[in-house]
Structure 1
């Protein structure tokens, strides 16, 4: 494999990694929006779906260059809703 092919392959791998991160991050944002919506309406909510995707993001980040995300608590959601 020549240098050009190696660089192209590396760039493609990084791009695929970031695409997967973007998919996971969008899924996490949807879960956050759902929890916030329930909280705003005074209904019971859980952060389990958010944190399941967060765990996937953290595991994915170990394989490449994507950023990490923090786990979310129910108190964090309540505080966000109170401020908004």
Structure 2
């Protein structure tokens, strides 16, 4: 019975990690989309929130079952906007 409890506990922990990852990743994608919108409108924007979420995801990834994410730079955003909007 102890083995069953240990497995159940471990699966519960992994499930919480995965759910937290999904939440953080959604927030990160929304923050990236907002930065892209601002860049496209030639407005100033900050990537602080994006990279804060990236850091949280990467800390979570150290546990082993969550993928890492790359930090985002202004150049990455500007390159994306150029490809998506200005080269049509």
Q: Tell whether the structures are fold-level matches, with TM greater than 0.5.
A: yes
Corresponding residue of 1:19: 19
**Aligned pairs, how many?**
84
Gaps of 5+ in 1: none
Matched residues in 2 for 1:9 and 1:55: separation? 26
Corresponding residue of 2:83: 83
Deviation digits for residues 34-78 of structure 1 (CA, Å, limit 9, x no counterpart): 100001111111211111111111112123411100000000000
TM-score with structure 2 setting the length? 0.87
Corresponding residue of 2:73: 73
Q: Select the structure with the greater relative contact order (CA < 8 A; seq sep ≥ 6).
A: 1
Corresponding residue of 2:44: 44
RMSD: 1.2
TM-score with structure 1 setting the length? 0.91
Gaps of 5+ in 2: none
Q: Secondary structure at the match of 1:32?
A: helix
